[in-house]
Structure 1
């Protein structure tokens, strides 16, 4: 008879995500994962596979985790420009959210692994594309409501907004002045006027 698991898979995966987010893939050893996740090495292999497979699961979990938190903020009935600002503020506020590591696991992974692993590079590219699509949809909604000029190109603008967002995700990992980060957001949003 198969033995039942003595741990919550989602909570354990969340712990792996947090460790990869904080330390990166290469600096995280299997022993680090065993210690941080609080389960045996064998249980990690049996449940999640090898370190790379666990990392891919953690990366997927990260995207779902962040997207869920962000979408809750965007459900409110706000003007389009303010919704786009909410996306940026979500990143800025992560700098002071002590529950999680600074920055973004997606950006960290892009920098650390995209040149070394084609599959991961594609996953990261797809994640960035989904963020661009979020901006694109917000811009189209804004244009349909008359809040954003129809003369603006939503495809190009969504690329621009995502590029700024990626840059902010890097800056929040540093000691960069929060006021300067907010000024970057204000300048970025000014293109919507």
Structure 2
């Protein structure tokens, strides 16, 4: 007779995602995952597959959470520029209890050169953010807040590049003031 799961899949997947974000893929052992997730090794394999399959599911969950976070930031904004600023702030003002950095950036750097599936997942995350930025720039142009002559795709690429830099610097001892200055310089390019 099959046993019922004694854990919430999303909850334990979030724990795995947090551990991967804090330590990276290679440094995180299966034993650490089992202990951190609070489930038995057999349950981990039965539910999520091997370590790589678990990591890919963690990347998918991270993608959903980032999309949700960015959508909320954009919806809360009174204007396109305010929405873009909120996206930057969401990257800068993360809860100090959350692991620093970005799982997509970490994945691209650590696994991208040798793991096509992980590189594609990180690329999808990057593309989603860049698309959101381009949409906001176009909205700002339609509202007269951002100059029409600005190429929305190129501007989104540049903003995304700044956000990637912020995500990397967030893992270091860089101050939030420095990150905010980068944000302000990036937003100034849109005016």
**TM-score clears 0.5:** yes
1:129 aligned onto 2:118: no
Deviations 1:18-65 (A, max 9, x none): 100101000000000000000000000000000000000001101112
For 2:109 and 2:169, the matched residues in 1 are separated by: 14
> Does the Cα contact within 8 Å between 2:77 and 2:86 map onto a contact in 1?
no
Query: 5 Å matches for 1:98-137?
Result: 98-137=96-135
Aligned residue number for residue 24 of structure 1: 24
**Structure 1: runs of 5+ lacking an equivalent:** none
Aligned match of 1:159: 157
Q: CA deviation at 1:77?
A: 4.2
Counterpart check, 1:144 vs 2:142: yes
CA distance in 2, matches of 1:168, 1:120: 21
CA RMSD, aligned part only?
Answer: 1.0
2:168 maps to which residue?
A: 170
- Equivalent-residue separation in structure 1 for 2:138 and 2:73 (angstroms): 19
Q: Give the Cα–Cα distance (whole angstroms) in 1 for the partners of residues 158 and 123 of structure 2.
A: 15
1:75 alignment partner, SS class? helix
Task: Determine the C-alpha separation between the residues in 1 that align with 2:158 and 2:73.
Answer: 22
TM-score (norm 1): 0.96
Please say if 1:67 is aligned against 2:72.
Answer: no
Structure 2: distance between partners of 1:49 and 1:14: 16
Match of 2:189, SS? helix
CA distance in 2, matches of 1:77, 1:179: 22
Q: Distance in 2 between matches of 1:77 and 1:98?
A: 23
| In structure 2, C-alpha distance between the alignment counterparts of 1:21 and 1:70, rounded to whole Å | 19
Distance 1:77 1:163, change over 3 A: closer
Mapped to 2, the partners of 1:101 and 1:43 lie a distance apart of 25
Counterpart of 1:184? Answer: 182
- Structure 2, unmatched stretches of 5+, are none
Cα distance between partner residues in 2 of 1:70 and 1:134: 8
Aligned mates of 1:98, 1:106 — CA distance in 2? 19
Secondary structure at the residue paired with 1:130?
Answer: helix
| Residues 1:86 and 2:86 aligned together | yes
Secondary structure, counterpart of 1:164 in structure 2: helix
By how many angstroms is 1:148 displaced? Answer: 0.9
CA displacement, residues 136-188 of structure 1 (integer Å, 9 cap, x when unaligned):
10011111111111100001011111010000000111111222211111111
